[in-house]
Amino acid sequence: MSSLSRNSEKLSGKKSFVIAIDGPAASGKSTTAYLLAKKLDFLYLDTGAMYRALTWKALQEGIDLKKEDRLSEMAEKTNIEIFPKEESFGTCVFVDGKDISSLIRTPEVTRWVSVLSKVPGVREAMVKLQRKIACNRSVVAEGRDIGTVVFPEADVKIFLVASLEERARRRWKELNEKGIFCTKEEIKKELELRDKIDSEREVAPLRKAPDAFLVDNTNLDTAQTLEKILGIVKSKIKNLK
């Protein structure tokens, strides 16, 4: 356990300390949350991977994504387990005992995940599971409704943003490195649509919590983003004294 992790438990007077990181797609949430959790010796909770896992399953089973009742039923009955990778960045995702870690980042899953994740019954099932995973554990959780819905009482809330152009560049680079080739313009349009769906959905829309710290990392690299957020966390813990 890191010294900061021990301090967070001691100063907050509780066993769990929750850091919520929200923001739009490709803003760097996953990388930042993973590295921050590793730095603090906290559990890394990638909620986006959980919705991607359900999307993958729905597509595999040929479920009509307009049938909200079927999607909600599937979410309630699906067993999802996530574990941080030990040797490299990312999350190991298991659905009903099957490792689908390499299957949830495809363009097809990315295209449909926002459609599935706006279904009320799906979100209810996932929020219940996310809270269960984080029960009595210190976590760094990232997603789109962490600080507003999943953990509204989180000890630290971050809203991470970057320009659309920079987010498209990052996603293009990420996909190319995985051998998935798209144009930057295609990715930009996809991100614009996803932003619209995430922000305008009726249930748990993407929005900044009033008490969240806004961090724009358009011109920051990963190390600089991590250092900035780590500074916010340290300051928060210091103020608990």
Write the DSSP symbol of residue 114: H
Kind of pairing between the strands at 139-143 and 156-161: unpaired
Residue 97 lies in a domain: yes
Q: What pLDDT score does 181 carry?
A: 87
On the question of pLDDT at 147 being above 60, the answer is yes
Residue 13 lies in a domain: no
Residue span of the structural domain in which 131 resides: 18-231
Mean pLDDT across 87-103: 89
Kind of pairing between the strands at 139-143 and 98-99: unpaired
CATH number, residue 115:
3.40.50.300
Asked if residue 26 belongs to a known ligand binding site, the reply is yes
In terms of DSSP H, where are the helices of the chain? 3-12, 29-40, 47-60, 68-77, 107-117, 120-134, 164-177, 184-200, 222-238
What's this model's pTM, rounded to 2 decimal places?
0.88
Total number of domains constituting the chain: 1
Residue 149 lies in a domain: yes
Asked if residue 101 belongs to a known ligand binding site, the reply is no
Tell me the C-alpha to C-alpha distance, in Å, between residue 215 and each of 24, 42, 227. Answer: 12, 21, 11
- Residue type at position 106: T
- The structure tokens 């307009």 sit at 66
Asked if residue 30 belongs to a known ligand binding site, the reply is yes
Residue 240 lies in a domain: no
Residue 88 lies in a domain: yes
- Residue type at position 1: M
Per-residue pLDDT band for 237 (boundaries 50, 70, 90) equals: confident
Sheet harboring 98-99: ordered strands across?
80-84, 91-95, 98-99
State the average pLDDT for the chain.
91
Q: Residue 146: which residues within 8 A CB-CB, separation 6 or more?
A: 20, 21, 22, 47, 154, 157
Give the count of beta carbons closer than 10 Å to the beta carbon of residue 194: 19
Q: Please check whether residue 23 is in contact with residue 29, taking contact to mean a CB–CB distance below 8 angstroms.
A: yes
Tokens of 33: 């949350």
Residue 90 lies in a domain: yes
On the question of pLDDT at 163 being above 50, the answer is yes
